[in-house]
Amino acid sequence: MPRSPISTDQAPAAIGPYSQATRAGNTVFLSGQIPLDPATGELVAGGIEAQARQAFRNLEAVCRAAGGSLDDVARVGLYLTDLGEFGAVNAVMAEFFAEPFPARSTIEVSALPKAAAFEVDAILVLP
């Protein structure tokens, strides 16, 4: 099955040899989004809530570029450098997603690119 790259300037550019997202059929695999401001490429200021909101905004922009929305997300992966921040990130995620919620995994990691505290990736299924 052929793959088609997805990109938008409304989310940070890829900082390595990957696409912001790749479409295969009606499934879109969204690369991880960290809390970078798309205009500056810099990590947003603030705590975990600010970082999570920016990462989810970036994810939402890539969903739109793919022709979908967060409502079409079937699965998300959350990556935190401190699992003690899980409650705060969970509350922010609830601002962006409505029922029925996507499937999810949450993993604590030792480090993320650019010293971010949070990253999110997703799988989007287009109608």
pLDDT for 96 equals 98
Task: Set out the domains of the chain in order of their start, with CATH numbers.
Answer: 4-125 (3.30.1330.40)
Side chain identity at residue 87, one-letter code: G
Q: What is the mean pLDDT of residues 66-70?
A: 98
Q: What pLDDT, in 10s, does the model give residues 5-63?
A: 999 999 999 888 999 999 999 999 999 999 999 999 999 999 999 999 999 999 999 99
Alpha-carbon distance of 84 to 62, in angstroms, equals 28
Close Cβ partners of 88 (under 8 Å, ≥ 6 residues apart) = 47, 48, 49, 52
Q: For residue 36, which of 61, 72, 17 has the smallest C-alpha distance?
A: 61
The pLDDT value recorded for residue 1 is: 78
Q: What is the pLDDT of residue 15?
A: 80
The DSSP code sequence of 39-82 is: TT-SBPSSSHHHHHHHHHHHHHHHHHHTT--GGGEEEEEEEES-
CA-nearest of 30, 103, 17 to 66 is: 30
What pLDDT is recorded for position 110? Answer: 98
